[in-house]
Structure 1
Amino acid sequence: MSKAGVLVISHGSRSPEWIELIDRAVADIGDLGSGTEEVPIVSSFLEIVEGRLIQDGIDSLEAQGVTDIVVVPLFVSYGSTHVEEIRYALGDLPAPSFDTDLQPFRLRANVHMCPPLDDDPVVADIVFDRLRSLTDRPERQRVLLVGHGSEIPQFYRRWKTGMDRVAARLRLLGGYADVRSALLLPDETREAFADWRESEPDCDIVVVPLFLSSGYFTNTVIPQRLDGLRYTYDGKALLPHPSVSRWMERQAAERLKRIGPRRNLC
Structure 2
Amino acid sequence: MKYGLLVISHGSRNENWVRLVDQAVDEVQLPNSIPKESSFLELVENRLIQDGIYRLEAKGITDIIVIPLFVSSGSTHLDEISYALRMTSKPTLETDMEPMDIKANIHLGVPVDDDPIIANILYERISDLSDNPQQEVICLVGHGSKEKGFYAKWRSGLDSLARRVQLIGNFAGSESAMLLPNQVASKMKVLNKKYPEHKIIIVPLFLSEGYFTNEVIPSRLKDFNYLYNGKPILPDKKISQWIEQQVSLMTTE
Q: Same fold (TM over 0.5)?
A: yes
Correspondence list, 1:211-230, <5 A? 211-230=206-225
Partner of 2:124: 129
Correspondence 1:96-135 to 2 at 5 A: 96-135=91-130
Alpha-carbon contact 2:126-2:229 (below 8 Å) kept: no
2:204 to 209, 232, 239: 209
User: Quick one: structure 1 residues 217 and 196, their matched pair in 2 at CA, closer, same or farther if it must change by over 3 Å?
Assistant: same
Task: Return the letter of the residue paired with 2:234.
Answer: L
Unaligned runs of 5+ in 1: 259-266
Map residues 1-150 of structure 1 onto 2, 5 A cutoff: 2-30=1-29, 32=30, 34=31, 37-150=32-145
In structure 2, distance between residues paired with 1:120 and 1:136 = 25
In structure 1, distance between residues paired with 2:240 and 2:73: 19
| Number of aligned residue pairs | 253
Residue pairs, 1:119-198, within 5 angstroms: 119-198=114-193
Q: CA deviation at 1:14?
A: 0.5
Code of the aligned partner of 1:91: R
Distance 1:127 1:217 in 2: 16
Distance 2:85 2:12 in 1: 21
How does the TM-score come out when normalised to structure 2?
A: 0.97
Q: Secondary structure, in 3 states, of the residue corresponding to 2:47?
A: coil
- Post-superposition Cα deviations, 1:72-111, rounded to whole Å, max 9, x if no partner, equal 1000000001111101110111211111111111111100
Q: Cα offset for 1:23?
A: 0.7
Q: Find the aligned partners of 2:128 and 2:194 in 1 and give their Cα distance.
A: 26
| CA RMSD after TM alignment | 1.1
Q: Which amino acid aligns with 1:249?
A: E
Give the C-alpha shift of residue 198 in structure 1.
2.6
Cα deviation code 1:115-163 (max 9, x no counterpart): 1111111121111111211101110001010000001021010001011
Secondary structure in structure 2 of the residue aligned to 1:207: strand
Work out whether residues 123 and 168 of structure 2, in 8 Å CA contact, stay in contact via their aligned partners in 1: yes
1:38-66 deviation digits (Å, cap 9, x = unpaired)? 11000000000010000000010011111
Q: Deviations over 1:9-62 (max 9, x none)?
A: 0000000110110011001101x3x3xx31100000000001000000001001
Q: Point out where structure 2 has 5 or more consecutive residues left out of the alignment.
A: none
Q: Which amino acid aligns with 1:170?
A: V
Q: TM-score, normalised by structure 1?
A: 0.92
Whole-angstrom distance in 2 between the partners of 1:26 and 1:256:
18
Letter in 2 for 1:252: V
Higher relative contact order (CA 8 A, sep 6+): 1
Q: CA deviation at 1:196?
A: 2.1
Cα distance in 1 for partners of 2:152, 2:176 equals 12
